Structure 1
Amino acid sequence: MSTEYTEKTARRDAAEPLDLPRSRAANERLHALIPGGAHTYAKGDDQYPEHLAPVISHGSGAHVWDLDGNRYIEYGSGLRSVSLGHAHPRVTEAVRRELDRGSNFVRPSVVELDAAERFLATVPTAEMVKFAKNGSDATTAAVRLARAATGRTRVALCADHPFFSVDDWFIATTPMSAGIPTDTDRLTVTFPYGDLAATETLLDRYPGEIACLILEPATHSEPPPGYLAGLRELADRHGCVLVFDEMITGLRWSEAGAQGLYGVTPDLSTFGKALGNGFAVSALAGRRELMERGGLRHSDERVFLLSTTHGAETHSLAAAMAVLTTYTEEGITARLHDLGERLAAGIREAAAAMGVDDHLIVRGRASNLVFATLDEHQRPSQEYRTLFLRRLLAGGVLAPSFVVSSALTDDDIDHTIEAVADACAVYRKALDATDPTPWLSGRPVKPVFRSRA
């Protein structure tokens, strides 16, 4: 089957049944060739209603088109990585300039120097930076560095945050731990977000054993007053390294990340996602004393920190510099918050008008909105999520979350709110019937982390 794209509609009419024959056929081919049918589990077709997982042809700005010619307003683009919109001209032009100059050499390119200077000027709480291609490499490097610097083996991670790395130290703690030695997870312990007393109890339970505390500095809620500063004090007092995973908060919270917004400096931090606007680039940054342990100018035992063949591809670093410049010069973070606030207010109003505001919950910082779907007993429900996603897709909205990009227009927001209102009307009918099954048309969507396929 050809996967050639043919546009057939500018925007779907929600009254029409959504049929995706080309996408269905492409999904079958994807599963035949790629385990899971996607290169990221969160992009799997099991995350979408059955037979309604679009395969994307291309994107522009805040819109994407599938193989069947349907256009969607897209949220959470690239799993939050495309915050400026697809094919942003400033970014693509910066990349294009490097493509004819070579992308990878046997020695560092001057672009590596330029990118490091630009990053550290934007995130002044860090003193050194090393680039990589994905977030897992950066967080695992932070953990290795913390273990080397402290001589300790245990890692304490925040149990309320969903993902840190594909590597064993984290995946061993999830239901998908197959293939990982059974004793690996004993070296990883957890603490709850926002609870300093519980974290101190954990540190006291393992005196002199915990190398680092690693967490996202903020997620669906603001950190309690004094919480991050309290973690800083606990880490100092117990001699462990404080690591902020800023994959999501970096740039979206402020140009300098959550650490810049809240005024608490971690020992190490990791950035990615928005940093490249879809191009593969991540960063480990932090205090010189720690970072230099992975370098050549010290007398301690060497740490194999990050060493990646493609970590400093010139076009990806050029993309990162263009993103950082665009954020600082065009006030992108503020725009993301303005768009998110308008969208959240409209969704809540639409849900309230249909009487489902206790069941469709929008939460998170305005630049990083997510939603929860609750059943008639106020319990999280994959069935109601499926119903909601089906109606959004029918209305031309692709929204596994409501995470905005700066490319969204007022018309896009208005259309999204209309699609949400339509979905909420069906949601209400299902609640009244106490059974969403008639509106599912197939199996419910599934959680990413589960022990069986």
Structure 2
Amino acid sequence: MGTEGTEGAEGTREFALPRSRAANERLHALVPGGAHTYAKGDDQYPEHLAPVISHGRGAHVWDVDGNRYIEYGSGLRSVSLGHAHPRVTEAVRRELDRGSNFVRPSVVEVEAAERFLTTVPTAEMVKFAKNGSDATSAAVRLARAATGRPRVAVCADHPFFSTDDWFIGTTPLSAGIPAATTDLTVGFPYGDLAATEELLTRYRDEVACLILEPATHTEPPPGYLAGLRELADRHGCVLVFDEMITGLRWSEAGAQGLYGVVPDLSTFGKALGNGFAVSALAGRRELMERGGLRHSGDRVFLLSTTHGAETHSLAAAMAVQTTYAEEGVTARLHALGERLAAGVRDAAAAMGVGDHVVVRGRASNLVFATLDGSGRPSQEYRTLFLRRLLVGGVLAPSFVVSSALDDTDIDRTVDVVAQACAVYRKALDAGDATPWLGGRPVKPVFRRRA
């Protein structure tokens, strides 16, 4: 699948992407960071091997150099049905000729709200937006208004909640954010109810909300989410579940539907639109109505976006939810993920790197860790691994599956992983991955310096 290039260190033809490299240069000249999402930046890939995508269909994408890849983590986990899914694209096409945005609400807005609240019956009202950051920030604003408290408690073990100052100020990318804003955000550890209670006691009557992903690459400890629910109630703060990732992938109703713990507010996105821009803030009527017109209290500027209710994106969301319900998509994601995880673990073990290439997470949301000879996370070994996957035609910043994959795709991926693990073993034996990197290592997204 690769483009032929110059001789590599091992005597094989070196994989090269000249057109992608040129396109990346054009991007950097015009777009800060060379991408509109930092996680898609070329610094996340081996040097000069960041494909620029031409098009995609199903579980495959093609780059501008003509290479085809089996793709994982599509659209940062948003394209869970596969690219250009026929039910979604047909729903979108039906709306395009009817107009996309009006001076008053479209009937599609009420239909989409009804569809969403049927899918997530633990919520009583919903408001749509275009991205997850706006939804989570609206939840924080609503919690502060409802409680009259200034502080936000975020799960410190979870990587991302919003591009807005209340969260980004707590990361290494805090340039431009006043300390006074950042000081109002405090962190609590995932899975530790005692530490969370200590935090709420230390900042008694100051914490407006607890916000967290209900589950990530680890399952919540028994009783943990219910314990958080009890703590929030006892300390008078709002419990917010960020279901951007868990929504639909854990169950159609998200993690709250799977684990049976109801938050006060929750936010959805990513899989909701299968790549189309739509997110949602949902929750209890008593709270949500504070952003409405049918109450006598102070108004909350909740969510008010020009493009928040574009008809084609809402049609996409309805089609996605219907497809999940009618075709058992969540169960398929888990089955595909289980097959992939088992294959990768077997391949890694067979090549003697089972303790170094480690698959983690729920089957519908798999990630992998690349560890060095001492068992520490390594950007160098991640670079080696990503490079070998790309050469084999697998584009995999994670192993997050889409339902468009089939067994042939999974088996091919496992074969490529086995080849990558063979090189990984050579690097471990040499005690140095550098000869196999082809350039600088990949870099973490959250770092202070470019």
Give the TM-score of the pair, scaled to structure 1.
0.97
Q: Report the residue type matching 1:129 in the other structure.
A: V
- Structure 1 segments unaligned to the other structure (5+ residues): 1-6
Q: Match of 2:299, SS?
A: coil
CA contact (8 A) 1:337 1:367 kept: yes
Q: Is 1:179–2:176 an aligned residue pair?
A: yes
Q: CA deviation at 1:18?
A: 1.2
Match of 1:279 in 2: 276
Give runs of aligned pairs for residues 290-305 of structure 1, distance below 5 A.
Answer: 290-305=287-302
Q: Report the residue type matching 1:197 in the other structure.
A: A
Distance in 1 between residues matched to 2:349 and 2:110, nearest whole Å: 52
CA contact (8 A) 1:75 1:402 kept: yes
Distance in 2 between residues matched to 1:155 and 1:428, nearest whole Å: 45
Distance in 2 between residues matched to 1:234 and 1:357, nearest whole Å: 40
Match of 1:61 in 2: 58
Residue 261 of structure 1, aligned match among 245, 250, 258: 258
Match of 1:396 in 2: 393
Q: Is 1:452–2:449 an aligned residue pair?
A: yes
Q: Report % sequence identity.
A: 87
Match of 2:106 in 1: 109
CA contact (8 A) 1:156 1:189 kept: yes
Q: Report the residue type matching 2:166 in the other structure.
A: W
Distance in 1 between residues matched to 2:218 and 2:24, nearest whole Å: 36
Residue 149 of structure 1, aligned match among 141, 146, 149: 146
Residue 43 of structure 1, aligned match among 27, 40, 64: 40
Give runs of aligned pairs for residues 282-431 of structure 1, distance below 5 A.
Answer: 282-431=279-428
CA contact (8 A) 2:139 2:265 kept: yes
Match of 2:202 in 1: 205
Match of 1:4 in 2: none
CA contact (8 A) 1:16 1:394 kept: no
Distance in 2 between residues matched to 1:183 and 1:97, nearest whole Å: 48
- Structure 2 segments unaligned to the other structure (5+ residues): 5-9
Q: Match of 2:183, SS?
A: helix
Distance in 1 between residues matched to 2:383 and 2:151, nearest whole Å: 39
Match of 2:7 in 1: none
Give runs of aligned pairs for residues 91-170 of structure 1, distance below 5 A.
Answer: 91-170=88-167
Q: Is 1:223–2:220 an aligned residue pair?
A: yes
Match of 2:78 in 1: 81
Distance in 2 between residues matched to 1:320 and 1:16, nearest whole Å: 44
Runs of 4+ in structure 1 over 3 Å off: none
CA contact (8 A) 2:60 2:69 kept: yes
Q: Match of 1:183, SS?
A: helix
Match of 1:34 in 2: 31
Q: CA deviation at 1:111?
A: 0.1
Q: Match of 1:406, SS?
A: coil
Q: CA deviation at 1:185?
A: 1.1
Q: Is 1:20–2:17 an aligned residue pair?
A: yes
Q: CA deviation at 1:139?
A: 0.1
Q: Deviations over 1:159-196 (max 9, x none)?
A: 01000000000000000000111221110000000000
Distance in 2 between residues matched to 1:46 and 1:312, nearest whole Å: 34
Q: Deviations over 1:383-431 (max 9, x none)?
A: 0000000000000000000000000011100000000000000000000
Equivalent residues, number: 443
Q: CA deviation at 1:8?
A: 8.2
CA contact (8 A) 2:3 2:15 kept: no
Distance in 2 between residues matched to 1:18 and 1:408, nearest whole Å: 25
Distance in 2 between residues matched to 1:333 and 1:431, nearest whole Å: 37
Distance in 1 between residues matched to 2:179 and 2:141, nearest whole Å: 20
Give the TM-score of the pair, scaled to structure 2.
0.98
Over aligned residues, Cα RMSD in angstroms?
1.1
Distance in 2 between residues matched to 1:8 and 1:111, nearest whole Å: 46
Q: CA deviation at 1:211?
A: 0.1
Give runs of aligned pairs for residues 185-196 of structure 1, distance below 5 A.
Answer: 185-196=182-193
Distance in 1 between residues matched to 2:69 and 2:180, nearest whole Å: 45
Q: Match of 1:342, SS?
A: helix
Q: Report the residue type matching 1:373 in the other structure.
A: T
Q: CA deviation at 1:16?
A: 4.5
CA contact (8 A) 1:245 1:271 kept: yes
CA contact (8 A) 2:3 2:16 kept: no
